[in-house]
Structure 1
Amino acid sequence: MIAVAMSGGVDSSTAAVLLKEREEQIMGLSMQLWRNNGRCCSLDDLWDARRVVTQLGIPYYVLNLEKDFENTVVAPFVQTYLRGETPSPCILCNNYVKFHHLVEKAAGIGADRVATGHYARVKYDEALGRWLLLRGKDRNKDQSYFLFGLTQGQLSKTLFPLGEMTKPEVREIARRYGLATSEKAESQEICFVEGRSYADFVEEYAGTETRLPGPIVAESGEVVGTHAG
């Protein structure tokens, strides 16, 4: 049995279709991560995922990981931003929330492997005696960087059905199957801050002012303007 991580988007939906085409036994798993503003596994996304699994006729489960997501991803994001450093929330989420719980919970309900809609590839190298994480065929959509922290144990249980495909090919398959998510737009922002600036989100979450105005000084020492912080 394969548990497919269903985000409610076209990629994970198509990954499920491809596995279904291979006559694999599959189930859908969605993760409820964040209920505040933003689209991170929103109720609309869960509804879209449910529509797809209903269409495919497969079992479906939702995991509530809100507390773990906030402690492991959101809070460190804010703390890193306040230190003036660059946060990497997607890497934290994949390494310590999504794949950790996906593999663990899937095993608990009878699935020995998991699959996601990431554009990446995984294969076992006999000479090295280890699993390798490889870039996806679609270099414009490649997501292997965000998965670099996956363990050997996680990689050994993970399938990436879209690894050898391009985004246009994925869209075409979704359209051919009439999936509810076939034309759904994809987000380019960090999911839990979508629609706002990072600074706005951090100020709201931390309850502190992050943007302190100051002078813009040229190398000569002349003050040439003021920045907003």
Structure 2
Amino acid sequence: MSERKKVLIGLSGGVDSATAVHFLNASGYEVIGLTLKMLPDAIEKACSAGEGFRVCCSKEAVMEARICAMKLGIPHYVINCSGDFKDKVIDYFIEDYLEAKTPNPCVFCNKHIKFKYLLKYASMMGIDYVSTGHYADIKYSGKYGMKLFSKPADADRDQSYMLSMLPREYIDKIILPLGPYAKSETRAYAEKLGLIVANKPDSQEICFIPDGDYAGFIMADEKSRGKIKPGNIATADNKILGRHNGLINYTIGQRKGLNIAHKTPLYVIKLDRERNEVVVAEAEAAEKKEFFVKGINWHPEAPITPGYVYAVKIRYKHRETEAELTPLDGGRAAVKLHKPERGVTPGQILAVYDGEFLLGGAVIE
């Protein structure tokens, strides 16, 4: 009898990763659980005092992951990567906001922390594959002649966007067991298995900001001292309409919460760091058709094809839209959307698709 292949799965303390263990077990793998202690102590304490059971990687979540591992009959380990998490995710998040960008920390957490650490410890432990509870899949593409990340069966839960900046060489080492399942099916399996997380609410988007107050979190950091100042809200032709209390409180495409009076709705079209101004305009001027991206991460061995019509997402929950990409020097590309979109935001991730397959991503300039 051949020896079973081993899989190291990231257990976050949520229903998805716990139920993924069951699917891996059922597929014949030998499964080992690993929970990453990512939150610095001060932030973890704040999470535990408030919504600790809803924040992935809090002390409560680690406890729930361990209980689920015991129930599912797999070994479970915990490692501390909070220093790296602060350097690569939290500091990046704060610095981008201070530069008038809108970052996506989850994408870079997957690249710099979650999958990096899973693969590192899998190698150290002699384990063949790594796995997570992401709603995405990995399939062979005949067109590209290789395995690629792909969209899951549950379109409403599609998390493939979050994997767009992972290195190409990771793909063959990853198993994503939730790809064929809907979230409702996952919860149903968890209930049948008697897992304590079966009805646990989904964790919030930004795990290190438990109360959702991004601006307050940034202002409390020492790197922000003296850098957040009030200024004008103005039109592109310099007509002052109101005041803002810091650029970090705004994002491109924003309409609500501007607290200005105007006969038609206005949208944020630019955060001007030099003038410390929030620039607003009517809907048509807030739309953009052409822009640039940097730091391209491309999964297929075939390069980007100029003139080819790809599907792209300019934000995680944004609908797909058609676009053409023209490669430039230095890992950059020019993007031309077929239809103008509102909310093309510096710092956000552009994810690129061809049908069901995720081809990669880049950072919007």
Regarding TM over 0.5, the answer is: yes
CA drift of 1:127 comes to 5.4
* Selected match of 2:230 from 213, 217, 224: 213
Instruction: Specify which structure has the bigger relative contact order, considering alpha-carbon pairs within 8 angstroms and separated by 6 or more residues.
Output: 1
For residues 101 and 233 of structure 2, what CA distance do their matches in structure 1 show? 21
The structure whose residues are more often strand, as a share, is 2
Which residue does 1:228 correspond to in 2?
245
Which residue does 1:146 correspond to in 2?
162
1:179 aligns with 2:195: yes
For residues 185 and 100 of structure 1, what CA distance do their matches in structure 2 show? 27
Determine what percentage of the aligned residue pairs are the same residue.
Answer: 37
- Report if the CA contact (8 A) 2:98-2:224 is conserved: no
What SS does structure 1 have at the residue aligned with 2:118? helix
* Selected match of 1:103 from 119, 126, 135: 119
Q: TM-score, normalised by structure 2?
A: 0.59
The number of aligned residues is: 229
CA drift of 1:81 comes to 0.5
For residues 219 and 23 of structure 1, what CA distance do their matches in structure 2 show? 61
Q: Deviations over 1:148-190 (max 9, x none)?
A: 1222321101111101111111111111111011011112321
Which residue does 1:155 correspond to in 2?
171
For residues 120 and 67 of structure 1, what CA distance do their matches in structure 2 show? 28
For residues 65 and 154 of structure 1, what CA distance do their matches in structure 2 show? 20
Unaligned runs of 5+ in 2: 1-5, 48-54, 247-365
1:46 aligns with 2:75: no
Q: Please give the residue correspondences for 1:29-68 in structure 2 after superposition, counting only pairs within 5 Å.
A: 29-34=34-39, 35=41, 36=43, 37-38=46-47, 39-68=55-84
CA drift of 1:107 comes to 2.0
- Report if the CA contact (8 A) 1:135-1:142 is conserved: yes
Structure 1 residues 158 and 146: CA distance shift in structure 2, 3 A: same
* Selected match of 1:132 from 148, 165, 182: 148
For residues 67 and 221 of structure 1, what CA distance do their matches in structure 2 show? 44
The higher radius of gyration belongs to 2
Which residue does 1:194 correspond to in 2?
210
For residues 240 and 29 of structure 2, what CA distance do their matches in structure 1 show? 66
The structure whose residues are more often helix, as a share, is 1
Q: Deviations over 1:42-74 (max 9, x none)?
A: 100000000000111111111211111111111
Which residue does 1:8 correspond to in 2?
13
